[in-house]
């Protein structure tokens, strides 16, 4: 699995470097405009960082698409790797590359902002709350990509053609998202117990929805791993 992670990071190295360099150069330019643009410079820096995250998230999706539809898949599926190893390597690689871009974007924003926003946050947020936000960052990436990977694999199996398979994966994702959201809302209404998380603002989490999300993630991870190992036919 670790060899797969190394291989995938090496394959996306130029993408990661290109995005990070774009963020750095863009923020360096904005630093020269802070006095004249004032609040506009930090706002544009935030948009730049958000755009970089969108691009790297799309690149994370292509980690699976490349192996399902391109020639790389023939190499991958001839290796003695289990479906669990393939899925885990995809998710770990995605977390690493998204986190790298996020750290660079936040660091450049803090330099441009001279740390004012960061200091304001640190004065009001405790260490346990920072750890919570980090865990939520990781959970959001892993759970979202697992759901998307499942839809991509099902689309690939159900619809053999490259274009048809990708369109089918999007339709499957759309339909399952509606069903998943409906179930989550129903469970939240059935089990209305809430957990409060105090931070800069008070956040609440529904216990039923949280358990549902965890169970859904586990089932999707297992199902996708099984399909990759036993049902994907290149």
**In the structure encoding, which two tokens stand for residue 10, read together?**
């090496």
pLDDT above 90 (res 221): yes
pLDDT of 70-120, one tens digit each?
A: 666 555 656 666 778 888 888 888 888 888 999 998 888 888 877 676 676
pLDDT at 74: 56
pLDDT of 134-154, one tens digit each?
A: 888 888 889 989 998 898 888
pLDDT of 165-198, one tens digit each?
A: 678 888 888 898 899 888 888 887 887 766 666 5
DSSP per residue, 53-75: HHHHHHHHHHHHHHHHHSTHHHH
Contact 20, 104 (CB under 8 A): yes
Of 10-24, 59-73, 137-151, which range is least confident?
Answer: 59-73
pLDDT above 80 (res 123): no
């Amino acid at each position: 699995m670790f060899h797969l992670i190394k291989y995938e990071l090496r394959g996306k190295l130029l993408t990661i470097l290109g995005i990070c360099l774009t963020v750095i150069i863009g923020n360096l330019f904005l630093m020269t405009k802070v006095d004249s643009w004032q609040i506009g410079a930090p706002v544009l820096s935030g948009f730049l960082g958000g755009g970089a995250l969108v691009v790297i998230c799309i690149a994370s999706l292509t980690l699976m698409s490349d192996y399902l539809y391109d020639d790389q898949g023939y190499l991958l599926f001839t290796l003695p790797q289990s479906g669990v190893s393939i899925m885990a390597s995809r998710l770990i690689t995605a977390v690493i590359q998204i986190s790298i871009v996020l750290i660079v974007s936040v660091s450049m924003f803090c330099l441009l902002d001279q740390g004012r926003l960061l200091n304001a946050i640190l004065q009001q947020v405790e260490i346990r709350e920072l750890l919570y936000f980090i865990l939520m960052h990781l959970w959001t990436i892993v759970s979202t990509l697992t759901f998307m990977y499942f839809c991509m694999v099902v689309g690939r199996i159900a619809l053999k053609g490259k274009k048809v398979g990708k369109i089918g994966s999007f339709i499957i994702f759309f339909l399952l998202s509606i069903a998943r959201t409906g179930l989550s809302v129903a469970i939240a209404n059935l089990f209305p117990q809430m957990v409060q998380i105090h931070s800069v603002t008070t956040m609440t989490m529904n216990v039923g929805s949280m358990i549902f999300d965890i169970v859904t993630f586990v089932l999707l991870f297992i199902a996708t791993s099984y399909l990759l190992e036993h049902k994907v036919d290149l």
